[in-house]
Structure 1
Amino acid sequence: MISYFCTAATEELPLSIRSTIPSLLTAIVALASCFGASAQDSSRQQPTSINLPIPSQYDSTKALAALRSRLDAVFGGPAHRSAQFSGYVVSLKRGNVLYERNPNLMLTPASTTKLFSTAAAFHLFGPNGGINTDIHTDGRLDDKGTLHGNVYLIGRGDALLTVNDLEDLADKVRAAGVKRITGNVYADNSHFDPVGDRAVYSGDGEQVQPMPPVAALTVNKGTVTVLVTGSVGGRVSVQTIPSSETFDVVIAGGAPAKGRRARRGRLQVNSRTLDNGFQQFVVSGSPGANRTVSKYVSMSRPALAAAGTLYSRLRAGGIDIDGTVSEKHAPPAARRLVSFQRPLVDFASVVNKRSDNYLAEHVFKMVGAHCGDHTTTAVRAKKAMLEILDSLDIQRTGCLFNDGSGLSRRNRVSASIETNLLREIATQPYADEFRATLAIAGRDGTLRGRMTGTRAEANLVGKTGTLRNVSALSGYVTTADGEPLAFSFISNGPSVGTYKARENDAGAILAAFSYRTPVVVPPPAAAVVPPAPERRSAIAPKKSVRRKTATPQRQQPRHRIRQRGAGRTTGAIRRSTQKQGRQKATTKRARKRTR
């Protein structure tokens, strides 16, 4: 075909030119086929999204601007317009600020105060620190197993101490060869100051949450469970958990009430402290036959109750005790007999994950006692927490702590202070242990039911804060790029539930954040040949015909359509079918009658 074209179209050209044309045309056709295939392949390609391995400055700027815009939309809604808000987000890898909104505004932080008290404890005790509960003695153990002297149960703030822990201590005493104690079992509660009421040592004068006295020595978190079981005839049996030599039970109940008087709450358990410091429980009424009711009562003297429990466990283990249970400071010359230690990370995990206020106040006083003050422990703890911020080079102007749990509404912290604390903790030897104490989004603690189904689930860890008119969330989260962030959001206002929902939104946004802005790559554009200009004949020029634009007809309402067949509406067809069915039924009945 090419040779024919060359022969037919180039007969008039010189011989030298005609000889080169076939090879030129062959090359042109080959190139055209290549371009055609390329254009055809490109027309089948779809736009692809590419994540750039190293984002450009323009892309990272756009990504940060988009992040800030989204967070501003989250915390700038109607609920936050009537609230005070402080927010701050920093990168632990780059050190730059990703987001800030009133970062230095001092607000009530609620339970995020626990971040400061537990961080202070880790800073002082170290990553492997623990809380000891010891048994000391001022006596001498002879060859027959008789301990000539007293034993002292010394507490240092472990409010998680249980009956099983005291039983382990009793077993260790027996394993040390002790078969008899000639003296007394004393409770040494001197590690903390004697002021156990949080409302008093915080200066609030407000009982935000009733709790047992904060004491250096306690058992079962300072709470007694009184189990009352009723039987036929109105008799009741009472059991206390834990059992202690310092508990006295008096049953003053009669037959269960009947009729209208038989209502919930007829059973009452009252408590009072006797002259010797023992606690008496007066049970009146009955829960009814074959029913058991639990009543929870705070220990009035937690240290004495713990020593009474140890006394019971020692005797249950076969050790005879000549003396009784009382309170007394161990003399300096007393030597340690046995010891039990709870890891600080285990204790702090309950504080931060479950936001346990009672345990947090024990951490608070542990900090003060560790600094050497056992007479005004709470005052020293307030000072120590601020000193630790100074040692971490955190600007704390206006920062104020009155307790360790955050129940005090007079505590003052900003989002920048909380975030900077978390950032500095990440560089400390106890960073991993501290992080392990925080609640995990969608998994445990106070974040168990939050941010589920988002990138923040099982990723974000943090500490929540909740009081009337206060909501807060502070912690760590890893972005979609694998970049660790520290953040803090504090809201003071009336819509606490809405603030928590916005905190969830912000956590999900931070977890999904990426600097790598998706770039859409368009397919290569196919070569488009412009159409040849239209030739007009000189003999018969075309007339310009004005085309009429079809005007859309207005759709008639369905109730006006009366055409049969396809034009009918569904309702019209249904009515027609029903009418035909009625006619057939009438015809059948008529035929039956004629038969």
Structure 2
Amino acid sequence: MTPRDPRRRPAARASRRALGAVLALLLAGATAGCDVQGLLPGAEPSRDATPAPFPDSSLTSVGAWLPGPEAGRAADGAEASSAAPGPSARESASPSAAPSSSRPASGEPSPSSAAPTGAAAPRDPEEAAAFAELAGLPDLTPLLVPSPEPAVLGPALDEALDLADGEMSAAVVDALTGEVLYDRDADEPAAPASAVKILTAIAALEVLGPEHRYTTSAVALPGHVGAKEVTHVVLDAGGDVLLGTGGNGEEASGRAGLGTLARRAADRLAEEGTTGTVTVRVDDTGYAGPRASPDWSPDIVTSGNASVVQPIATYGGRAWPSTATDRLNDPALYAAEVFRDRLAVHAARKGLDVVVDDGVERLALKGRGTELAGVESARVAEQVQYMLKASDNQVAEATGRNVALAEGGRGSFEGAAAAIERAVARLGVDTEGLRLVDASGLSGENRVTALQLTGALQAAATDPDLDTAATGLPVAGRDGTLEQRMVGTPAEGVVHAKTGTLSEVASLTGTVETGDGRQLLFSFIARDQPGVLTDARLAVDRGAVLLAECGCRRDE
């Protein structure tokens, strides 16, 4: 398995995101006709509404806040936005505005919820879109859609997230401005279960790039079995654990087929005039360290939640392309056996004067041999989406190791965890208290805060290279691990979220469009549960449904 150089992302993107967030806050404040200083870093929240910072509604006044042409050139190329579409026609609920026991980020209701007292800012969606394009910023049009008011949202969510046992950590954040609308122990590190996969997805997209593909190769190597000369055909693992057993397929799982690889290898053996005995071997030495985490529950592998972690497997460590089938005990050796059978068939069809030996063993190439053929996986973006939708632990662990190797680290549990943490930190997420021990979330020793999860999602949702980590999440009532949840509720079709389940944890982290059409990010982590997770799952689902149906403003 050959490491690759990590993809280097332009630094201008981070600065453009930051500039976009500042201008988003300014426009949000102007729309409400209020002072936005309380939303800016290091400023105390404003207690009184003041006139809008823009004296008129023209884009010219907003343009005064832009940097000069040089800055515009540094941020060359406008980014597409994953923010919410325009206002929705769905009806919205009107929760009570009783005082909240949650604590908004500022400790006071958001300044953007104040009543207008000054001149209106740009409210025409076409003008807002034109301004954003001119500035090379994410689309700011969604800011014309009202955001929930913390004073109204808080008590409603307090009630929705109520638990009979255990504790709840929760954060709700405006996707475009980054304003924290709801904070309930949101900076308390907790085990978020499979929500860790969101961080793994973002790291893969950030380091490897969404278009990267893994290559699985067949390599010819002269050798001996006893005194007999043979040709070893070595299956060189390239980090793809979603190989198919037949020809190349259309889906992410099975895109690269061992049958296709065997046919291409047989063609090349024929061209080379190979004769005699051919043996099949597999080189799966690309990963390091234990193949099952010491931080996992002892039954994780035996229960089929994951197989031992290796850099090659079919269908996520399964013999068949269904997530309902059992995991394999040795995915790498199984892949080699499938390849051996397909190679024998194709060699016979081509009339090669070879005998493909029945035995399959491991053999480290160590840079030796001649490549016969290769097959490429689905793009990383597609594999990441598959991982998120199916909550596939095997794909998550392999992906984490592939990220570590791309950065020149070790393909181990520790190497993957460190690489993911670094990738998240590079995106500007505050990683204080963040501690990962795996890439799948199977360990109860992982520690992540709700605000770190929403912060990572915000970075993903505003960057076209990373947005699969947000758009690829399961959709409530439609697909993936949310297919049977929130069916027939306002959340169906508009909540995209990653589920998380451990023996004492139920979590839900993702994006939602409010009843007014505003895009929010949320993370709910119900922890210290007594073992039966029904109450906790219902609570996090209630929270998501509330966000989907709630405009949560005092004027409703």
Is the TM-score greater than 0.5? yes
CA-CA distance at 1:377 after TM superposition: 2.1
Give 2:309's aligned residue: 214
Q: CA contact under 8 A between 1:480 and 1:511: conserved in structure 2?
A: yes
Q: CA contact under 8 A between 1:136 and 1:336: conserved in structure 2?
A: yes
User: How many angstroms apart in 2 are the aligned matches of 1:135 and 1:435?
Assistant: 35
> What letter is aligned with 2:214?
I
Give 2:240's aligned residue: 158
> What letter is aligned with 2:541?
N
Alignment deviations for residues 459-516 of structure 1 (CA, whole Å, 9 cap, x no partner): 1101001111211000011123322111101011225211211222211221223366
Alignment deviations for residues 359-395 of structure 1 (CA, whole Å, 9 cap, x no partner): 2222222222323345x62221121111112211211
Give 1:372's aligned residue: 408
> What letter is aligned with 1:332?
G
Within the candidate set 112, 115, 119, 1:58 is matched to 115
Structure 1 residue 115 corresponds to structure 2 residue 115: no
Alignment deviations for residues 83-120 of structure 1 (CA, whole Å, 9 cap, x no partner): 22211111122321111111111111111111122221
Give 2:343's aligned residue: 314
User: How many angstroms apart in 2 are the aligned matches of 1:148 and 1:444?
Assistant: 49
Query: Aligned to 2:214, what secondary structure does the other structure show?
Result: strand
Structure 1 residue 137 corresponds to structure 2 residue 220: yes
Give 2:548's aligned residue: 511
Q: CA contact under 8 A between 1:150 and 1:181: conserved in structure 2?
A: no
> What letter is aligned with 2:266?
R
Give 1:339's aligned residue: 374
> What letter is aligned with 1:305?
Y
Within the candidate set 498, 501, 521, 1:486 is matched to 521
User: How many angstroms apart in 2 are the aligned matches of 1:426 and 1:300?
Assistant: 37
User: How many angstroms apart in 1 are the aligned matches of 2:218 and 2:171?
Assistant: 47
- Aligned positions of 1:448-467 closer than 5 A: 448-467=483-502
More strand by share: 1
User: How many angstroms apart in 2 are the aligned matches of 1:62 and 1:339?
Assistant: 52
Give 2:434's aligned residue: 399
Structure 1 residue 418 corresponds to structure 2 residue 513: no
> What letter is aligned with 2:279?
N
User: How many angstroms apart in 2 are the aligned matches of 1:194 and 1:216?
Assistant: 13
State the TM-score, normalizing by the size of structure 1: 0.59
Structure 1 residue 95 corresponds to structure 2 residue 178: yes
Change (3 A) 1:154 1:194: farther
Change (3 A) 1:136 1:89: same
- Aligned positions of 1:49-448 closer than 5 A: 57-58=114-115, 63-75=149-161, 77=162, 79=164, 82-138=165-221, 149-164=231-246, 165-176=257-268, 178=270, 180=274, 182=276, 183-193=278-288, 195-198=290-293, 200=294, 203-204=295-296, 206-210=298-302, 211-223=306-318, 299-317=328-346, 318=348, 319=352, 320-321=354-355, 325-343=360-378, 344-374=380-410, 377-448=412-483
Alignment deviations for residues 234-273 of structure 1 (CA, whole Å, 9 cap, x no partner): xxxxxxx9xxxxxxxxxxxxxxxxxxxxxxxxxxxxxxxx
Query: Aligned to 2:334, what secondary structure does the other structure show?
Result: helix
State the TM-score, normalizing by the size of structure 2: 0.63
User: How many angstroms apart in 2 are the aligned matches of 1:457 and 1:152?
Assistant: 48
> What letter is aligned with 1:195?
P
User: How many angstroms apart in 2 are the aligned matches of 1:408 and 1:150?
Assistant: 39
CA-CA distance at 1:223 after TM superposition: 4.4
Change (3 A) 1:62 1:130: closer
Structure 1 residue 501 corresponds to structure 2 residue 535: no
Query: Aligned to 2:377, what secondary structure does the other structure show?
Result: strand
Query: Aligned to 1:58, what secondary structure does the other structure show?
Result: coil
CA-CA distance at 1:194 after TM superposition: 5.6
Change (3 A) 1:181 1:85: farther
Change (3 A) 1:78 1:134: closer
User: How many angstroms apart in 2 are the aligned matches of 1:78 and 1:158?
Assistant: 41
Q: Name structure 2 gaps, 5 residues minimum.
A: 1-91, 93-111, 117-145, 224-228, 247-256
Q: CA contact under 8 A between 2:498 and 2:508: conserved in structure 1?
A: yes
Query: Aligned to 2:395, what secondary structure does the other structure show?
Result: helix
Alignment deviations for residues 57-80 of structure 1 (CA, whole Å, 9 cap, x no partner): 3397984422112011222x352x
Q: CA contact under 8 A between 2:489 and 2:545: conserved in structure 1?
A: yes
Q: CA contact under 8 A between 1:120 and 1:385: conserved in structure 2?
A: yes
Change (3 A) 1:181 1:212: farther
> What letter is aligned with 1:349?
Q
- Aligned positions of 1:520-531 closer than 5 A: none
Alignment deviations for residues 138-178 of structure 1 (CA, whole Å, 9 cap, x no partner): 469xxxxxx98432211123222221111111122234462
Q: CA contact under 8 A between 2:283 and 2:363: conserved in structure 1?
A: yes
User: How many angstroms apart in 1 are the aligned matches of 2:372 and 2:427?
Assistant: 39
Query: Aligned to 1:100, what secondary structure does the other structure show?
Result: strand
Change (3 A) 1:438 1:383: same
Change (3 A) 1:479 1:167: same
User: How many angstroms apart in 2 are the aligned matches of 1:138 and 1:483?
Assistant: 59
> What letter is aligned with 1:160?
L
User: How many angstroms apart in 2 are the aligned matches of 1:87 and 1:389?
Assistant: 20
Give 1:292's aligned residue: none
User: How many angstroms apart in 1 are the aligned matches of 2:334 and 2:113?
Assistant: 66
Change (3 A) 1:491 1:300: closer
Alignment deviations for residues 420-464 of structure 1 (CA, whole Å, 9 cap, x no partner): 110111223323322343100110111112222222211110100
User: How many angstroms apart in 1 are the aligned matches of 2:547 and 2:540?
Assistant: 11
Q: CA contact under 8 A between 1:103 and 1:414: conserved in structure 2?
A: yes
User: How many angstroms apart in 2 are the aligned matches of 1:197 and 1:154?
Assistant: 21
User: How many angstroms apart in 1 are the aligned matches of 2:286 and 2:492?
Assistant: 41
